[in-house]
Structure 1
Amino acid sequence: MEKVTPFLMFQDGNAEEAVNFYTSIIEDSQITSIVRYGANEAGPEGTVMQATFTLKGQEFMCIDSYVKHPFSFTPSFSIFITCNTEEELSNLYENLLEGGQALMPLDDYGFSKKFGWVNDRFGVSWQINLP
């Protein structure tokens, strides 16, 4: 086995928007490649055939699925972020919450100083922790 990479499938043609958003709010993150569908290819022209990006060194892959599936993202799989400061935690939480849904508001739940869980506006689930 070479490696394990989390893979996100977007079904509303917004993979590139999501990747740009994530890499803009998380330090030391970048888009490493984007391949888009061209004219007369399987997916809508300009949408993401495959993209790779890193968030704090963790590689991710994603696509815009041109096939509509009866499933989407679920909070049972989430991206877990450990923050160094309360300011960092609060900023990430607020950015990810914009247009999304709070599953667990920022609070002290006893297992950390501060914790929050959100589904962002793209439907991706995030747990944000200050140990």
Structure 2
Amino acid sequence: MTSMTPFLMFQGGKARAALDFYVATVPDSRIVSLDRFGPDGPGPEGTVLRAHAVIAGQPVMAHDSFITHDFDFTASWSFFLECEDESDCELLFAALGEGGQILMPLDNYGWSRRFGWVSDKFGVAWQINLK
């Protein structure tokens, strides 16, 4: 069997903080398992070797890279959150955008009554849409 899971690679030991933030912010989210690097490495002790989480019902993996890369997250890849009501859109847009960057303000763009796009404080992009 073949399966696919989105994989988030964080730099600077931010994976656990990001996952905690997503679990606290996005409904139907939880950390399923979290393995850390030990004293023998190869990554810094205590950083995330591999984490399995569920974010808005979607299985996701996360990892703290101990190798510095010249790339990070890009807004061309994003999570698309669909909200049942406008207040959920407002809350998620504000929470996920805080400390990050607003790529498209929450507004009516014609294809949706309420749509917005943000990059959160960890650099992960989120599209928030009212169903």
Same-fold status (TM-score > 0.5):
yes
1:74 and 2:80 correspond: no
Once the two structures are superposed, the pairs formed by residues 106-117 of structure 1 within 5 Å of their partners are 106-117=106-117
Match of 2:130 in 1: 130
**Shift in Å at residue 75 of structure 1?**
0.6
Match of 1:52 in 2: 52
Structure 2 unmatched ranges of 5 or more = none
Match of 1:30 in 2: 30
**Shift in Å at residue 3 of structure 1?**
1.5
Structure 1 unmatched ranges of 5 or more = none
Match of 1:15 in 2: 15
**Shift in Å at residue 40 of structure 1?**
2.0
Match of 2:90 in 1: 90
Which segment drifts farther, 13-22 or 23-32? 23-32
The separation in 2 between residues aligned to 1:10 and 1:64, in whole angstroms, is 5
**Cα distance per residue 1:70-113 (max 9 Å; x no partner):** 11000110000000011101100000111000000000000001
The separation in 1 between residues aligned to 2:98 and 2:74, in whole angstroms, is 18
Q: Return the letter of the residue paired with 1:10.
A: F
Q: Return the letter of the residue paired with 1:36.
A: R
1:104 and 2:97 correspond: no
Q: Return the letter of the residue paired with 1:101.
A: Q
The separation in 2 between residues aligned to 1:2 and 1:130, in whole angstroms, is 32
**Shift in Å at residue 56 of structure 1?**
2.5
Identity of aligned residues (%): 51
**Shift in Å at residue 28 of structure 1?**
1.7
**Cα distance per residue 1:37-83 (max 9 Å; x no partner):** 11121000000000010013210001000001111000110000000
Q: Return the letter of the residue paired with 1:7.
A: F
The separation in 2 between residues aligned to 1:109 and 1:115, in whole angstroms, is 7
Match of 1:62 in 2: 62
Structure 1 runs of 4+ with >6 Å offset: none
The separation in 2 between residues aligned to 1:86 and 1:57, in whole angstroms, is 20
Give the TM-score, by structure 2 length.
0.97
Q: Return the letter of the residue paired with 2:59.
A: E
